[in-house]
Amino acid sequence: MSAISFRKFTWSDVPAITTIYGHYVKETVITFETEAPSEAAMAERFGRMLDLGHPVLIAEDEGKVVGYAYASFYRPRAAYRFTCEDSIYLAPDAVGRGIGGVLLVRLLEECKLAGFRQMLAVITAERANSIRLHERHGFRMIGKYEALGFKFDRWLDIVHMQRAV
């Protein structure tokens, strides 16, 4: 982990994060999107988060983007404005090295500064490593929802986990 550095998102990160996210869209049930977004679409999404002042962080290994994390509104309606949902995506070859945990800790710090009070993690129920990661960082299991997603010809459950920021 010594070579990994962490910093805020910049526009030049868009191609790398589009590639990382596209992998999980096309190959996994981690995200319920089924069409990988273009770089332009990703730039628009991240631009919206920057406009809102929401944290977007990058993990780099010797200059190469190996992961990203962000938190944004859990839901758009105004009364939810103190509640965020996190997302963390590492390049496949960066998984299992503890980078996700560092991104999550830093994201929580940034979320506090941004004024969020609660963070939700919405996780595909079969993803044990993501559930474990959030447990390790103080998230409680709130509930399981059955068959909310359908991808790759099967129904998918999700769990919600929560902690105060």
* Minimal distance, residue 92 CB to ligand COA, in Å: 8
Residue 85 forms beta bridges with which residues? Answer: 72, 120
Instruction: Please state the separation of Cα 63 from the chain's center in Å.
Output: 21
Strand order in the sheet with 154-164: 4-8, 56-61, 64-73, 83-90, 118-124, 154-164, 140-151
Q: Does 26 bind ligand COA (CB under 6 A)?
A: no
Chain residue whose CB lies nearest ligand COA: 100
- Determine which residue in the list 16, 56, 66, 88 makes contact with ligand COA, applying CB under 6 A: 88
Judged by CB, which is closer to ligand COA: 14, or 121? 121
Which residue in this structure is represented by tokens 């998918």? 156
What residues numbered 60-79 form the site for ligand COA, per CB under 6 A? none
- Give the per-residue contact string, 94-133, with ligand COA (x = CB under 6 A; - = no): -xxxxxxx-------------------x-x---xxxx-xx
Q: Specify the long-range contacts of residues 71-79, CB closer than 8 Å, at least 24 apart.
A: 71/107, 71/110, 71/111, 71/114, 71/116, 71/119, 74/120
Nearer to ligand COA, 23 or 112 (CB): 23
For the bound state, the minimum distance from the C-beta of residue 25 to ligand COA, rounded and expressed in Å, comes to 11
Number of Cβ within a 10 Å radius of residue 118: 15
- Residues at the contact surface with ligand COA, assessed by CB under 6 A: 24, 30, 87-90, 95-101, 121, 123, 127-130, 132-133, 136
